Amino acid sequence: MHDARVQVDLSPLDETRFGVRSARAHVANESDLAIVNRFCLENDVTFLIARCPASALQTVQTMESDGFQLMDTLIYYRRDLHKTPIPADEGSVPIRPIRPGDEAAVVAIAVEAFQGYFGHYHADPRLDRAQCDEVYTSWAERSATSREVADEVLVAELDGRIAGFATLRFNSADEGEGVLFGVAPFAQGRGIYRSFMVRSMQWCAEHGRRTMIVSTQITNLAVQKVWVRLGFEPSHAYYTFHKWYDT
Ligand SMILES: CC(C)(COP(=O)(O)OP(=O)(O)OC[C@H]1O[C@@H](n2cnc3c(N)ncnc32)[C@H](O)[C@@H]1OP(=O)(O)O)[C@@H](O)C(=O)NCCC(=O)NCCS
Give the domain CATH number at 144.
3.40.630.30
Residue 240 in any domain: the answer is no
User: Residue with the nearest Cα to atom 24 of ligand 1?
Assistant: 222
pLDDT value, residue 5: 62
**Do 12 and 132 sit in the same domain of this protein?**
no
**Do 31 and 120 sit in the same domain of this protein?**
no
205 contacts 81 by C-beta, under 8 angstroms:
yes
**Do 163 and 203 sit in the same domain of this protein?**
yes
**Do 56 and 160 sit in the same domain of this protein?**
no
pLDDT value, residue 247: 86
**Do 118 and 55 sit in the same domain of this protein?**
no
Report the mean per-residue pLDDT for the chain: 95
Residue 44 in any domain: the answer is yes
Res. 178: pLDDT tops 80: yes
Encode pLDDT of 229-238 as tens digits.
999 999 999 9
**Do 181 and 130 sit in the same domain of this protein?**
yes
User: Residue with the nearest Cα to atom 46 of ligand 1?
Assistant: 181
CB atoms within 10 A of CB 170: 17
Nearest atom in ligand 1 to the alpha carbon of residue 184 is: 39
Question: Which residues' Cβ are closer than 6 Å to ligand 1?
Answer: 113-114, 180-183, 188-194, 216, 220, 222-223, 225-226
**Do 87 and 206 sit in the same domain of this protein?**
yes
Residue 142 in any domain: the answer is yes
Encode pLDDT of 60-115 as tens digits.
999 999 999 999 999 999 999 999 999 999 999 999 999 999 999 999 999 999 99
Nearest atom in ligand 1 to the alpha carbon of residue 188 is: 8
Residue 230 in any domain: the answer is yes
Enclosing domain of residue 204: 80-235
Confidence of residue 151 (pLDDT cuts 50, 70, 90): very high
**Do 230 and 171 sit in the same domain of this protein?**
yes
**Do 178 and 94 sit in the same domain of this protein?**
yes
pLDDT value, residue 6: 76
Pocket test of ligand 1: the residue of 193, 196, 200, 214 to mutate, having most ligand atoms within 8 Å of its CB, is: 193
Residue 247 in any domain: the answer is no
Pocket test of ligand 1: the residue of 183, 198, 217 to mutate, having most ligand atoms within 8 Å of its CB, is: 183
pLDDT value, residue 4: 52
Calculate mean pLDDT across residues 14-29.
97
**Do 141 and 199 sit in the same domain of this protein?**
yes
Give me the residues paired with residue 217 across strands.
74
Residue 2 in any domain: the answer is no
Residue 75 in any domain: the answer is no
Pocket test of ligand 1: the residue of 188, 192, 194 to mutate, having most ligand atoms within 8 Å of its CB, is: 188
12: helix, coil or strand?
helix
Nearest atom in ligand 1 to the alpha carbon of residue 113 is: 41
**Do 130 and 165 sit in the same domain of this protein?**
yes
pLDDT value, residue 54: 97
Domain count, the chain: 2
**Do 54 and 103 sit in the same domain of this protein?**
no
What is the SS3 string spanning 26-91? Answer: ECCCHHHHHHHHHHHHHCCCCEEEEEEECCCHHHHHHHHCCCCEEEEEEEEEEEECCCCCCCCCCC
Q: How far is CA 175 from CA 169, 179, 200, 201, 208, in A?
A: 9, 13, 12, 11, 9
